[in-house]
Amino acid sequence: MPSEKISTSRRTLMQGATAGFVTAVATRAVAQTDVSNSAGTAMASPPQDPRTLYPHPPFPAQEQPWPGLAGRMTPRPDHGETSYRGSGRLNGRRALITGGDSGIGRAAAIAYAREGADVAIVYLPAEEPDAREVIQIIRAAGRKAIALPGDIRDEAFCQALVEQAVSGLGGLDILVSNAGRQQSHDSILDITTEQFDWTLRTNLYAMFWITKAAIPHMPPGSAIIYTSSVNAYDPSFNLLDYAMTKAAIANFSKGLSKQMIKRGIRVNAVAPGPFWTALQVSGGQTTENVEKFGEQVPMGRPGQPAEIAPVYVQLASAQASYVTGQVYGASGGSGQP
């Protein structure tokens, strides 16, 4: 996609944002600018009060057909497009990220590319507009980008996507299994067998299939990262099927880490709290919950995907060489473990 289209979408981002959001993004961009001392060494960014960053509820009422597009959200989520600055922490790595078109996966994809990794992203064909932006950003960072559209509920596609990622990237060192399905239902009586199966296939079966296909390609020193949730520990009343899959993911991650260390592969999970992503506005929450999204956590606002990307970088990086079988949280002051 021409870079002009990206600038257009950045303009749309700013036009569509509330004044508070623009201020917050600008503040954050300044906050992340490294200051150099006289010896030319990068010094730490000045501290920022996390409560003052980013948009706070109430949010405009909005709903999109599943799976939703980040590009059509108001305000647009911040995935680190203008703020994430790398420092070579993943130089030469080859990463596969499911759900890398939007939200948390997109923030990880942008951060990984800027840290020096080549990145393959998996997404649904309906998400092509979001995915094109990510591909363009990865290439603008000087890294290789592989686009893998398809439906991970299909085992054959899960095997094929791993093969295509491995051949396109020339190997695989990092797997981020992050794609997820979340639909709000007030009662178990409203969850059909079809819906239940859809959630389990996306969140559990696909994770299992993709992991199995990827492991034989991953050399010692590789990292696997899963996306669990605060719902693993404290299930929301309206996310019964989703929450149980997130508990299973945390458990699977810990169990698998015990097997994979025999291959020199570290396995961890991330448990996000409320993050402002397309998942929430495409059936993941009721409209009422979207309007007050994030107000329940001590920080009083949802996280932006850019705020969790550093956790994915840390878990993938060799600096986390002693970290395996862990679940890392980022949830605005709530959540476990």
Query: Measured from the CB atom, is 86 or 294 closer to ligand NAD?
Result: 294
Residue type, 109: A
User: Minimum distance from CB of 336 to ligand NAD (Å)?
Assistant: 13
Number of neighbouring beta carbons within 10 Å of residue 287: 11
Report strand pairing: 94-98 vs 327-330: unpaired
User: Minimum distance from CB of 101 to Mg ion (Å)?
Assistant: 4
Q: Please work out the total of residues on this chain that contact ligand NAD, with binding judged by CB under 6 A.
A: 30
User: Minimum distance from CB of 142 to ligand NAD (Å)?
Assistant: 25
Stretch that binds ligand NAD, among 15-23, 50-58, 185-193, 269-277 (CB under 6 A): 269-277
The answer to whether the CB of 305 falls within 8 A of the CB of 333 is: no
Query: Measured from the CB atom, is 43 or 237 closer to ligand NAD?
Result: 237
The answer to whether the CB of 332 falls within 8 A of the CB of 297 is: yes
Stretch that binds ligand NAD, among 22-30, 32-40, 84-92, 120-128 (CB under 6 A): 120-128
Contacts (CB under 6 A) with ligand NAD, residues 165-224: 178-182, 202
Stretch that binds ligand NAD, among 9-17, 22-30, 140-148, 149-157 (CB under 6 A): 149-157
Residue owning tokens 């959200």? 73
Query: Measured from the CB atom, is 129 or 263 closer to ligand NAD?
Result: 129
Using DSSP's 3-state secondary structure scheme, residue 97 falls into: strand
Asked if 127 is part of the footprint of ligand NAD (rule: CB under 6 A), the reply reads yes
Q: Which does 270 bind (CB under 5 to 8 A by kind): Mg ion, ligand NAD, none?
A: none
Q: Which does 327 bind (CB under 5 to 8 A by kind): ligand NAD, Mg ion, none?
A: none
Task: Give the integer Cα–Cα distance in Å for 54 and 214.
Answer: 36
Q: Distances in Å between the alpha carbon of 234 and those of 129, 242, 337?
A: 34, 12, 10
Using DSSP's 3-state secondary structure scheme, residue 298 falls into: coil
Bridge partners for 272 per DSSP: 330
Q: Where are the alpha helices (DSSP H) in 175-268?
A: 193-200, 206-214, 240-260
Asked if 104 is part of the footprint of ligand NAD (rule: CB under 6 A), the reply reads yes
Query: Measured from the CB atom, is 93 or 181 closer to ligand NAD?
Result: 181
Residue owning tokens 């992503």? 277
Task: Give the integer Cα–Cα distance in Å for 231 and 242.
Answer: 8
Asked if 335 is part of the footprint of ligand NAD (rule: CB under 6 A), the reply reads no
User: Minimum distance from CB of 15 to Mg ion (Å)?
Assistant: 22
Burial class (CB in 10 A: 0-12, 13-18, 19+), 62: middle
> Catalytic residues, which ones?
242
Q: Which residues bind Mg ion (CB under 5 A)?
A: 101-102, 127, 278
> What are 11's two structure tokens?
């303009």
Number of neighbouring beta carbons within 10 Å of residue 65: 9
Asked if 283 is part of the footprint of ligand NAD (rule: CB under 6 A), the reply reads no
8-state DSSP, 116: T
The 40-79 site mask, x for binding ligand NAD (CB under 6 A), equals ---------------------------xx-----------
Q: Which residues bind ligand NAD (CB under 6 A)?
A: 67-68, 99, 101-105, 122-124, 127, 151-153, 178-182, 202, 227, 229, 272, 274-275, 277-280
